[in-house]
Amino acid sequence: MTVTLDPVLTARLADVAVNVGLNLQPGQDLVLTAPVEALPLVREIAASAYRAGAGVVTPILSDDAVARARFQNAQDESFDKAADWMYRGMAEAFGNGAARMAVAGADPMALAKEDPAKVARANKANSIAYKPALEKISNFHINWNIVAWPTAGWARQVFPDLPEDEAIVKLADAIFTASRVRVDDPVAAWAEHNAALAARSKWLNAERFDALHFTGPGTDLVVGLADGHEWHGGASTAQNGVTCNPNIPTEEVFTTPHAHRVNGTVRATKPLSYNGALIEEIEMRFVDGRAVEARSTSGETVLQSMIDSDEGARRLGEVALVPHRSPISDTGLLFYNTLFDENAACHIAMGQCYSKCFLDGASLTAEQVAAQGGNASMIHVDWMIGGPETDIDGVRADGSRVPVFRKGAWAQSV
Ligand code: ZN
Ligand code: ZN
């Protein structure tokens, strides 16, 4: 990176990530992954973490050019391998109580020109190797957080017409705004935001809808909710007892759909950036929870291999409600990054569900989660289905209906 970003806002973003995002505890270790360009933020995160009493902070940096060097030069056998030892080490660290932070922001198109079959094989090998560590995250054993930093490749994608330095500064501006660090006391601002999201979750949990019925252009979809589902939003408490904000930024309230009770058609309202490809105008048809048809106008090969990852990849693991108006969507930008784009629109996710999105979720076995309608998969991929014309009805078990969203906004005040 050739441009230096606002050092005060960078330090505040690091402090929000450590103290709100992770709520890192004295003596807790931290495993941190980041693109190499995020080094200025990584250094501030390390400083903030040690001020908060961290044991050992271990950063693991990645580089797009190194990743491309593999696809362009490695022998064929390479693409079925992963750095198993590293993922085992991460699983061991999490098992011993380390917190996990990921800095998002790598170039979404870094691998766009590489062979999609090789990319899919390498991703599959990584997913298998990472699974034991990922389970500690998806089962919420430990406090974890994702925060963002603008890399040149990402900024180029968001602002293709601007010179690179200018694009990076503009993307940083949007990240600082969306991450709510432009106030004197970002920690207090986050407490207020968390309280608002908690009030929405509480209302939905009291309603106990049987299903949500989404309608909008190209969409007429009934998403059955899992038995004993529980809505979450904003801060939540990990099994280690630490209350954290896994996503910075976050605008969503979300829960677990029923893996066998999703029916109808749905059209994406934003492109999905996945495995280095841009998947545009996704349309899917669901029958009894299973995506039986999937189309897109670009990236369809990647889309098909994504939903063929395993049996659970064709079923839903998450449904999330996000108003059309929020600090993120008000930027008017398409970020080509799930952390931001999913928090600008209602979305669903193919694949793995979050066991915490069940009443008493921490005590349920994998078999109980499945029996209540929770989905299992190696993948969890969010895509956006909400927009300014989205209406949602909550459908109760007796068939009566309650307006939940009208024209992309909450229909009730709570
Ligand atoms: Zn979500
Ligand atoms: Zn998700």
pLDDT at 1: 53
H or E element that contains 212: strand 211-216
**Nearest ligand, CA 354:** 2
**Nearest ligand, CA 255:** 1
Q: Average pLDDT, whole number, for the chain?
A: 95
3-state secondary structure of 393: strand
Whether the pTM exceeds 0.85: the reply is no
d(CA 99, CA 253): 23
How many whole angstroms from 382 Cα to the centroid of ligand 1?
Answer: 6
Sequence-ordered list of residues with C-beta below 8 angstroms from that of 239, at least 6 positions apart, any chain: 139, 140, 141, 142, 362
Residue found under tokens 């069940």: 358
**What CATH superfamily classification does 7-178 receive?**
Thermophilic metalloprotease (M29) (3.40.1830.10)
The burial class, CB within 10 Å (0-12 / 13-18 / 19+), for 301 is middle
**Nearest ligand, CA 321:** 1
Number of H helices, E strands in the chain: 11, 21
**Nearest ligand, CA 341:** 1
Per-residue pLDDT tens digits for 64-85 = 999 999 999 999 999 999 999 9
**Nearest ligand, CA 353:** 2
pLDDT at 106: 86
d(CA 297, CA 351): 22
Average pLDDT (122-142) is 93
Pairing between β-strand 253-255 and β-strand 316-321 as defined by DSSP bridges: antiparallel
Q: How many CB atoms lie within 10 A of CB 400?
A: 9
Going by pLDDT thresholds of 50, 70 and 90, the confidence category of residue 367 is: very high
Average pLDDT (204-222) is 98
- Selection from 142, 139, 149, 193 nearest residue 172 by Cα: 149
d(CA 358, CA 350): 18
Q: Calculate the alpha carbon distances from 298 to 174, 283, 319 in Å.
A: 27, 12, 24
pLDDT at 355: 86
How many whole angstroms from 308 Cα to the centroid of ligand 2?
Answer: 18
The residues spanned by each domain of the chain are: 7-178, 208-232+251-410
How many whole angstroms from 140 Cα to the centroid of ligand 1?
Answer: 15
How many whole angstroms from 386 Cα to the centroid of ligand 1?
Answer: 12
Structure tokens given for 305: 């291999």
pLDDT at 273: 85
How many whole angstroms from 166 Cα to the centroid of ligand 2?
Answer: 31
